Structure formats: structure tokens, C-alpha cells
Amino acid sequence: MFLKDIPSFLYSVVIPRTSELHALDNKEGLQKLYASGTKYLSIICIGFIPLLFPVAANILAIWMRAEANPLSVYVFQVLLVSTMFYITTGLGTSIAAGMGKPGLNALSNSVMVIVNMFFSIALYFVFRAQGSSGERRLG
């Protein structure tokens, strides 16, 4: 289990409630559930990022059992921000699953694939092969 998977436990609680609200055709309740859930997840994520940024080098040193490269620390900090967006958008996926609309998940995942490819290519041009080899070691 990875740290980024912990919020998925919260998402699974939302699915039955979403299904119930969708069955009752309560669009206002669905919007309120999405807005409040995203708000609280954002507050939690935004609270953790300033705490993790200064200790990114220490986290990497413990994880890799060696001194962290400054470029690796920078990439780790960028990944912290992207993980915040990943966690925050996961609630919408669970709401779509509770509504029984897998097409919305497919559309969302398609957009994420395109954005991921764009940023992967951009990061390659910024960090060259050293960044892409580091990515493979982290994965």
C-alpha cells in the first residue's frame, strides 16, 4: 500500500451515499457532497504540503537509504503537489462510480493520460535522461 492510496478508503465511503442520492434524483445533494468533500480533502492536502516540503530531503534519504540528490528533492516536491491534485480529484471518480456512470471515469482518465504525457515530455526536456532514469527507480 502506498501513502497516496490512503484517501481511497475515504472515497469508498462516498459511493453508497452517492448511489442513494442519485437514486433519489437529488442533484443538489450530490453537488453539496462533491463540494464539501473536495473542500475538506483540499484543506488536508494543502495542510500537509507545507509540512512535507522542508523535510523532502530527509524523506528521500530515509527512503533510499542514501543522501538525496538536490534534483531528486526538487522532483519529489513537484510530485507532492501533483499528488495533492490526484487525491483531490479522486472524490469525483468515486461519485461517478456511485452514480453508475463509468463513462465519466473514462473521460477523466483520458484527460489525465494526455496531461501526464505532456508533463512527462516537458520534464524530460528540463531534466534530460537523469530525470527519466530517476523516475524509473522511484516507480
Q: Is 49 helix (H, G, I), strand (E, B) or coil?
A: helix
pLDDT in tens, 93-135: 888 888 888 788 788 778 878 887 887 787 777 766 555 445 5
Summarised one tens digit per residue, pLDDT across range 11-29 is 778 888 899 999 999 999 9
Please give the model's pTM, rounded to 2 decimal places: 0.67
3-state secondary structure 5-69: HCHHHHHHHHHHHHHHHHHCCCHHHHHHHHHHHHHHHHHHHHHHHHHHCCCHHHHHHHHHCCCCC
